[in-house]
Amino acid sequence: MRHGPDLSQHDGMDVFEVMQTARAMRKLKPDPVPEELIDRILEAAVCAPNGGNQQKWWFLVVTDPTIKEQVQPYYAAALQEAHSYAYASLPPGTTRAQHDRQFSEVTHLTEHFHEAPVWIVLCLDVGEGEPSFSSGASIYPAAQNVILAARALGLGATFTNRHLRYAKEVDAVFALPPTVRSYAIIPIGWPDKPFGKVRRQPVETVTYRNTWGNRA
Amino acid sequence: MRHGPDLSQHDGMDVFEVMQTARAMRKLKPDPVPEELIDRILEAAVCAPNGGNQQKWWFLVVTDPTIKEQVQPYYAAALQEAHSYAYASLPPGTTRAQHDRQFSEVTHLTEHFHEAPVWIVLCLDVGEGEPSFSSGASIYPAAQNVILAARALGLGATFTNRHLRYAKEVDAVFALPPTVRSYAIIPIGWPDKPFGKVRRQPVETVTYRNTWGNRA
Q: What is the ipTM of this complex?
A: 0.94
At the top level of CATH, the class of A31-50+65-190 is alpha beta
> What is the predicted pLDDT for the residue at B107?
94
Interchain contact A6–B (C-beta under 8 A): no
Residues in chain A: 216
Contacts (Cβ under 8 Å, ≥6 apart) of B69: B114
Please tell me the distance from the alpha carbon of residue B187 to that of residue B163, in angstroms, as a whole number.
Answer: 12
Contact A47 B136 (CB under 8 A): no
Sign of the C-alpha dihedral, residues A203, A94, A112, A160? Answer: positive
Chain B contacts of A19, Cβ < 8 Å?
A: 44, 47-48, 145, 148-149
Contacts (Cβ under 8 Å, ≥6 apart) of B190: B3, B4, B28, B29, B31, B33, B154, B155, B156
Task: Judge whether residue B187 has pLDDT over 50.
Answer: yes
> What is the predicted pLDDT for the residue at A83?
63
Contact A53 B199 (CB under 8 A): yes
**Which chain A residue has its CA at the smallest distance from B9's CA?**
A14
> How far from the centroid of its chain's Cα atoms is residue B40's Cα?
16
Interchain contact B201–A (C-beta under 8 A): yes
> What is the predicted pLDDT for the residue at B102?
87
Helix (H) or strand (E) holding B107: helix B96-111
> What is the predicted pLDDT for the residue at B124?
98
| Average pLDDT score over residue span B7-36 | 88
CB-closest option in A12, A53, A144 to B91: A53
Q: Where are the domains of chain B?
A: 25-193
> What is the predicted pLDDT for the residue at B1?
36
> What is the predicted pLDDT for the residue at A57?
98
Please tell me the distance from the alpha carbon of residue A22 to that of residue A143, in angstroms, as a whole number.
Answer: 12
Chain A contacts of B63, Cβ < 8 Å?
A: 209-210
Contact B107, B41 (CB under 8 A): no
Interchain contact B216–A (C-beta under 8 A): no
Secondary structure (DSSP) of chain A: ---S--GGGGTT-BHHHHHHH------B--S---HHHHHHHHHHHTTS--GGG---EEEEEE--HHHHHHHHHHHHHHHHH-HHHHHSPPPTT--HHHHHHHHHHHHHHHHTGGGSSEEEEEEEE--SSPPPTTGGGGTHHHHHHHHHHHHHTT-EE--B-GGGGGHHHHHHHTT--TTEEEEEEEEEE-BSS---------GGGGEEESSTT---
Of the pLDDT bands very low, low, confident and very high (cuts 50, 70, 90), residue B11 is low
**Which chain A residue has its CA at the smallest distance from B21's CA?**
A47
Residue ranges of chain A with per-residue pLDDT less than 70:
1-12, 83-88, 216
Which residues 54-113 in chain A show a CB within 8 A of chain B? 54-55, 57-64, 67, 85, 88, 91-92, 94, 102
> What is the predicted pLDDT for the residue at B85?
58
Q: Is residue B122 classed as helix, strand or coil in its secondary structure?
A: strand
Q: For the segment B85-106, what is each residue's pLDDT rounded down to a tens digit?
A: 555 678 888 888 988 898 899 9
> What CATH number has the domain spanning B25-193?
3.40.109.10
Quick one: which of B49, B10, B24, B88 has its CA closest to A22?
B49
CB-closest option in A14, A39, A134 to B12: A14
Chain A contacts of B184, Cβ < 8 Å?
A: 137
